[in-house]
Structure 1
Amino acid sequence: MRFPAPLKSGDRIGVTSPSSGVDADLWPRLEFAIGTARSRGFEVTVGSCMDGTGHVSAPAAERARELTAMLTDPDIRAVVPPWGGKSAIDLLPLLDWDAIRDAEPTWVVGFSDMSTIITPLTLLTGVATIHGNNLMDTPYRAPSGLLTWLDIAALPAGSTFTQSSPGVHRSGGFDDYQRHPDVAEFTLDRPGHWTRLDGDGDVDVSGRLIGGCVETVCNLMGTRFGDTSAIPGDLLVYVEVSGDDAATICRNLHGMRLAGFFDRASAVLIGRTHAPDYPSLTQHEAVVDALGGLGIPLIADVDCGHVPPYLPLVNGALGRVVHNATESTVIQTLA
C-alpha cells in the first residue's frame, strides 16, 4: 500500500465532479464548503466538470480527462468531489490508469457514487483512498469520537488513529442547503449504537479496509475494478446502503459474495441506513440472508454511510475493530 503525503497548509485541493455536478441554486453551499477548506490554509482549484443541469457534470471523456489531470498534477495533493451522483462508472475504462499509478500518490476522498472511483483506485494502484465526507459535507464539525477527512489526510504515513461511535445519529434526511448554505452543525437527534447481526459476543478483529456503497460497488463485481485479490492478507470489508430497498440490497450482497468480495473478510461492517425495508425483509435481515453463512462477525449501524455523522474509513489502511458492551471502535493505521 502507498499513502499520499500528509496535507499541510498551502497545499492545493482539486474539486471536480466525476459523477453529478452542482445545480446553480446550490452553488452557495459549494462556495461555503470551499471557503472551509481555504480557512484551514489550503488552496482550492475548481475544475470545469461541475455542471449540475443533468445527471452527470460533463461527457464521460471530459470527466475522465479532468480527474486524470488532477491525480497526476504534482501541485494537487487531494481531490474531492462535491458529492456522489448517478454515473461515475462510465469513467473507469477512460481513466489513464498507468499515469495515475506512476504519479505521486494523491488523496482522493468521497462516498456514495464516489465508491465507484475510490475503491478501484486502491485496488488497481495500491494507493489509499478515503471513504468519508464529500466536499459539501466538509463544513460540518465532527462530533466527539470522530474525525473529518481533512484531519485524516493531514496525518503522516505510519500514523494510527482511533474513532468511536458517538452513540447518536440523524433521524431524518439531509439539510436544506438552499435555505441554509452555511450549516456546519449536524442535527444528531436519535440515539443509536452498533448492532451485531450474526450473534452475541465480543468482537476484536483486524484486516485491511476495503468496501463502499452497495448500490455502486456491486456493479464492479466480476471486473478488474472490483477484484480484491491484489490486497494481501485478511480484509475488513465495509458496505453501506444509499436508498435501495432491502430486497434489492439482499440480491446485490449475494452477488458480491458470489464474486468473492467477502472471501478473505475477517468481519463485515454495515453502515447505518434510512433505506426502506421490504414488506417481508428488513435491511438487517437482508445482510444476514446474504452474508450470514460466512461465519464472521456482521456489525451493522456503523457510522460510515449516508446517515450523519460520518466515520471516514481509509481504503487500504490496516484496521482493527473492537465491539463489545462498552466499546465500538475502529482503529486505523496508515501502513
Structure 2
Amino acid sequence: MNPRLRFPRPLRPGDTIGVTSPSAGVVGAGAERIEFSAEWLRGRGYDVVVGECMDGTGLTSAPAAERAAELTRMLTDPDIRCVVPPWGGETAIDLVDLLDWDALAAAEPTWLVGFSDLSTVLVPITTRLGWATVHGDNLADTPYAVPDGLLHWLDLVGGEGPFVQRDSGLVADWWRFEEDTRATEWKHVGSSRWDLEGGGSLDVTGRLVGGCIETIAHLAGTPYGDVRGWAEGFEEPTVVYVEACEDGAIDICRYLHGMRLAGWFDRAAAVLVGSTGAPDHADLTQRGAVLDALGRLDLPIVWDLEIGHVPPHLPLVNGALARVVVDGDTREITQTLA
C-alpha cells in the first residue's frame, strides 16, 4: 500500500454512521426523506447519529465555522466510522480552510461519502490527508435500489474488493420528495452507454480522483486542490473523473481549462466524464466544452458514466487503483483499495 494513502477500515453493521450538512440543510418534504433514509440505514443494522448542522431554512445548514467544527468532530470521533451528508448544496468551499486539519491528520481515517457540493470536501480530504473518500450517493439517494452492473456505496465501504462495476445502460431520475418521500426505485427515463471518444478500445489503470466540475474547479491552484502534487507521490498515473451538474457549456469549458492549467491532468492516463443534463450553448455543446479544454492533451476520454447528477450512481473511491476497460461489449471499471 502506498504510504500516501489511508483506507478506512470496512464499515460493518453495528457501526455508527454520522449525518451532517457541510452545505445545504433539510426542510419540509426533504427532511422527511432524510428521516426515511436514516431509518433505511438503521434497518440494515447501522447506528445513525444526526448532527446539529441540519437546518434547511437558509442557504447553508449553519455558519461555516459551525459546519466545519461538526464535520471535524464526526471525522475524528473513533465511534463514527462513516459520515454522509443529506445532499449537496452551493457553498461548501467556505469551510475547507476552517476544518481542523491537524486533528484530522492525527485521527484514524473515517469514510466520507457523497457527491455534488461534497466534492469540494472529498478532494482535499484525499489530497491533503491521503484518506480514501467515496464519490457516491448522498443520504437522500442511499435507499434507491442499485441497477444491474453497479454497486451500492455500502458495498465499497464495507468490503475488501476488488470491486467490479459495469455500464448499467440506465438513465434515471429522482422522484420529487413531494411525490414520494419513501421512493426506493429509480424513475427510468432512458438508456445510455459508455462511449470512448474516437472509438477503438481502452485498457488503463490509475489512481482515481475527481468530482463535480462546478465545485472542484474552484479548488484548483489552491492548497485544497493540489492534484498535481498529490499525483506526483504515486508510481501509477491518475484516472481523473469529472461531471457537470447544471452550468452551461461555456462555464464548464472555462472551469476545465482552469483545472488543466493547474495540473489536474498532468499525470492522467484517462478522463472519465459523467452523463449530464447541463445545457449546451448555441455554439458549444457540453462534450465540445470538454474537448476544447482537454482535447489538446491527447488523453482517452470515456463519456456518459453514471457518476454524477444523472442517476443512477456508480460509486468511485478517490485514491483507489482503478482499471478501466472499454473494448467491444466490455465496459467496466475495477477498483482495488490498495
Query: Structure 1 length as normaliser, TM-score?
Result: 0.97
User: What is residue 215 of structure 1 aligned with on the other side?
Assistant: 214
Cα distance in 1 between the residues matched to 2:169 and 2:145:
16
Secondary structure in structure 1 of the residue aligned to 2:269: strand
Give the residue type in structure 1 aligned to 2:303: A
Cα distance in 2 between the residues matched to 1:149 and 1:286:
30
Aligned counterpart in structure 2 of residue 92 of structure 1, from 96, 108, 119: 96
Secondary structure in structure 2 of the residue aligned to 1:224: coil
User: Contact between 1:71 and 1:100, CA under 8 Å: does it hold in 2?
Assistant: yes
Secondary structure in structure 2 of the residue aligned to 1:28: helix
Secondary structure in structure 1 of the residue aligned to 2:102: helix
User: What is residue 59 of structure 1 aligned with on the other side?
Assistant: 63
Give the residue type in structure 2 aligned to 1:301: D
Deviation at 1:179, TM superposition (A): 2.3
Identity of aligned residues (%): 55
Secondary structure in structure 1 of the residue aligned to 2:221: coil
Cα distance in 1 between the residues matched to 2:189 and 2:244:
21
User: What is residue 117 of structure 1 aligned with on the other side?
Assistant: 121
Unaligned runs of 5+ in 2: none
Given the alignment of the two structures, is residue 183 of structure 1 paired with residue 183 of structure 2, yes or no? yes
Cα distance in 2 between the residues matched to 1:178 and 1:22:
14
Deviation at 1:24, TM superposition (A): 2.7
Deviation at 1:237, TM superposition (A): 0.2
User: What is residue 164 of structure 2 aligned with on the other side?
Assistant: 162
Cα distance in 2 between the residues matched to 1:59 and 1:259:
30
Secondary structure in structure 1 of the residue aligned to 2:82: strand
Secondary structure in structure 2 of the residue aligned to 1:247: helix
Mapping of 1:22-41 within 5 angstroms? 22-41=26-45
User: Contact between 1:268 and 1:298, CA under 8 Å: does it hold in 2?
Assistant: yes
User: What is residue 72 of structure 2 aligned with on the other side?
Assistant: 68
Secondary structure in structure 2 of the residue aligned to 1:188: strand
User: Contact between 1:321 and 1:329, CA under 8 Å: does it hold in 2?
Assistant: yes
Given the alignment of the two structures, is residue 249 of structure 1 paired with residue 252 of structure 2, yes or no? yes
Given the alignment of the two structures, is residue 130 of structure 1 paired with residue 134 of structure 2, yes or no? yes
Deviation at 1:187, TM superposition (A): 1.7
Cα distance in 2 between the residues matched to 1:130 and 1:147:
12
Given the alignment of the two structures, is residue 5 of structure 1 paired with residue 9 of structure 2, yes or no? yes
Give the residue type in structure 2 aligned to 1:219: H
Cα distance in 2 between the residues matched to 1:79 and 1:93:
19
Cα distance in 2 between the residues matched to 1:332 and 1:164:
12
User: Contact between 2:174 and 2:187, CA under 8 Å: does it hold in 1?
Assistant: no
Deviation at 1:324, TM superposition (A): 2.0
Given the alignment of the two structures, is residue 315 of structure 1 paired with residue 329 of structure 2, yes or no? no
Cα distance in 1 between the residues matched to 2:327 and 2:307:
18
Give the residue type in structure 1 aligned to 2:164: T
Unaligned runs of 5+ in 1: none
User: Contact between 1:29 and 1:178, CA under 8 Å: does it hold in 2?
Assistant: no
Give the residue type in structure 1 aligned to 2:204: V
User: Contact between 1:61 and 1:94, CA under 8 Å: does it hold in 2?
Assistant: yes
Deviation at 1:28, TM superposition (A): 1.2
Q: Deviations 1:57-114 (Å, cap 9, x if unpaired)?
A: 0000000110000000000000000001011001111100111111111000000000
Cα distance in 2 between the residues matched to 1:60 and 1:261:
27
Aligned counterpart in structure 1 of residue 304 of structure 2, from 301, 304, 312: 301
Superposed CA RMSD in Å reads 0.9
Give the residue type in structure 2 aligned to 1:267: A
Give the residue type in structure 1 aligned to 2:166: S
Cα distance in 1 between the residues matched to 2:212 and 2:189:
24
Give the residue type in structure 2 aligned to 1:162: V
Aligned residues: 330
Cα distance in 2 between the residues matched to 1:290 and 1:250:
6
Given the alignment of the two structures, is residue 292 of structure 1 paired with residue 291 of structure 2, yes or no? no
Secondary structure in structure 2 of the residue aligned to 1:226: coil
Deviation at 1:178, TM superposition (A): 2.1
User: What is residue 224 of structure 1 aligned with on the other side?
Assistant: 223
Secondary structure in structure 2 of the residue aligned to 1:243: coil
